[in-house]
Amino acid sequence: MTDLSLKSAGCEGVYRDAIAAARHLKRQHREFYRTDPKAFRDAVRKAHNRVLRIKPGPKPARDPRLGAAARERGRGGSWPELYVLYIDHHEQMNDFTRGLAEDSFRRKVNQYLRDHPRLKLPKRIPVKNATAEPAR
């Protein structure tokens, strides 16, 4: 940040106080700063991040139909069946728009399944031929 942007934002006092506090800390722990400036800076950064922590905000709301579609897909539903059920006006779309909608829907459902892996059915283990004789 430049000094001009600080003056226009009205936080010049906070900026000056932060610089003064950093200089005071550097003077107070001069020996540690001289021996390992990188470690000093890391320690100060961790402390600032802990004190000035900004909690994460609300998550974007997902379409509730995505969860239902992901559950059906996880149970082995085919994509064309899901398109018709969960994409509004799927039949009335032209080919270009339908392709974009299907790609977007597929990406969103797959992302939902990645975030909720329990919805996927486990992969089946292929059955070996039970009538064949064992190798000797």
pLDDT digits (tens, 9 = 90+) for 67-126: 999 999 988 899 999 999 999 999 999 999 999 999 999 999 999 999 888 887 776 666
Is residue 59 a contact partner of residue 50, using CB atoms and an 8 Å limit? no
Q: DSSP 3-state assignment of 38?
A: helix
Q: What is the DSSP string of 53-120?
A: -----PPPPPPHHHHHHHHHHHTT--HHHHHHHHSTTTTTS-HHHHHHHHHHHHHHHHHHHHH-GGGS
The tokens for 102 are 């299907």
pLDDT in tens, 33-77: 999 999 999 999 999 999 988 888 887 788 889 999 999 998 889
